[in-house]
Structure 1
Amino acid sequence: MEVANFLRDADLSLFSNNRDLEYDVEKLGVDPGRTHVFANGIPEAFLNLNFEPTPEAEDSVIRIAWVATYIPRKGIHYSVPALNKILARYPQVEVSFIMGTGCPEAQVYADFEPSVHYRIRVVPHYQHETIPELLRGHHIKLFPTLCEGFSVALIDAIACGLAPVTTTTPGPMEVVRDGDNGILVPPRDSQAIEQAVECLITDRPYLEKLRRNAYATAQKYSWHRIARDNLAFYEAALSHKRGTK
Structure 2
Amino acid sequence: MKDLSNANTPRTIIQLGPSRSAHGGIASVLAGYASYESGFEELGYRFIFIASYGEAGRNGILTFIAAWWRLIVLSLFGDVRLVHIHSATRGSLLRKALFALTCMALRRTYVMHIHNGAFAAYYKGMSWPARAIVRLVLANAASLICLSTHAREQFIAMGLAIADKCQLVYNGIDDPLVENQVSSRPSQALAVTFLGKLCEAKGIFTLLEALALLPRSTPAYKLFVGGTGDAEVFQKWVSRYGLGDQVIYLGWIDGDNKNNLLRNTDIFVLPSLSEGFSVAILEAMAFGTAVVSTRIPGVVDAVRQGQDGLLVEPKEVEALRDAILYLLSAAAERDRFGASARQRFLEQFTIRRMACRLARVYEEAMQ
TM-score tier by shorter-chain length is 0.7 to 0.9
1:133 aligns with 2:260: yes
| SS in structure 2 at match of 1:121 | strand
Query: Aligned residue for 1:80?
Result: 208
Larger Rg: 2
The offset of 1:112, in angstroms, is: 4.1
Query: Aligned residue for 1:63?
Result: 191
Is the contact between residue 208 and residue 241 of structure 2 (CA under 8 Å) also seen in structure 1? no
- Are the structure 2 counterparts of residues 41 and 129 from structure 1 closer, same or farther at C-alpha, using a change threshold of 3 Å? farther
Query: Aligned residue for 1:20?
Result: 151
Residue identity matched to 1:31:
I
1:222 aligns with 2:353: no
Cα distance in 2 between the residues matched to 1:221 and 1:6: 29
Which among 245, 248, 252 is matched to residue 118 of structure 1? 245
TM-score when normalising by structure 2: 0.58
Query: Aligned residue for 2:29?
Result: none
Is the contact between residue 176 and residue 259 of structure 2 (CA under 8 Å) also seen in structure 1? no
Segments of structure 1 that go 5 or more residues without pairing to the other structure are 240-245
Query: Aligned residue for 2:226?
Result: 98
Is the contact between residue 205 and residue 237 of structure 2 (CA under 8 Å) also seen in structure 1? no
Query: Aligned residue for 1:202?
Result: 329
- Are the structure 2 counterparts of residues 235 and 114 from structure 1 closer, same or farther at C-alpha, using a change threshold of 3 Å? closer
Is the contact between residue 141 and residue 157 of structure 1 (CA under 8 Å) also seen in structure 2? yes
Segments of structure 2 that go 5 or more residues without pairing to the other structure are 1-131
**Quick check: which one's strand share is greater?**
2
Which among 270, 276, 281 is matched to residue 143 of structure 1? 270
Cα distance in 2 between the residues matched to 1:103 and 1:29: 35
Which among 313, 320, 338 is matched to residue 186 of structure 1? 313
Query: Which structure exhibits the higher relative contact order, with contacts defined as CA atoms closer than 8 Å and separated by 6 or more residues?
Result: 1
**Quick check: which one's helix share is greater?**
1
Q: Which piece of structure 1 moves more, 137-146 or 9-18?
A: 9-18
TM-score when normalising by structure 1: 0.84
Is the contact between residue 18 and residue 174 of structure 1 (CA under 8 Å) also seen in structure 2? yes
The offset of 1:61, in angstroms, is: 3.2
Cα distance in 2 between the residues matched to 1:115 and 1:77: 13
Is the contact between residue 189 and residue 222 of structure 2 (CA under 8 Å) also seen in structure 1? yes
The offset of 1:60, in angstroms, is: 5.5
Query: Aligned residue for 2:300?
Result: 173
Aligned pairs, number: 235
Q: How far does the alpha carbon of each residue in 1:85-111 deviate from its partner, in whole angstroms, 9 at most, with x for none?
A: 227442412211122x22337843652
Cα distance in 1 between the residues matched to 2:258 and 2:241: 27
Cα distance in 2 between the residues matched to 1:232 and 1:194: 42
| SS in structure 2 at match of 1:123 | strand
| SS in structure 1 at match of 2:332 | helix
How large is the RMSD of aligned CA atoms in angstroms? 2.6
Is the contact between residue 182 and residue 210 of structure 1 (CA under 8 Å) also seen in structure 2? yes
| SS in structure 2 at match of 1:21 | helix
Cα distance in 1 between the residues matched to 2:162 and 2:257: 42
Identity %: 23
Cα distance in 2 between the residues matched to 1:92 and 1:41: 33
Is the contact between residue 16 and residue 37 of structure 1 (CA under 8 Å) also seen in structure 2? yes
Residue identity matched to 1:28:
G
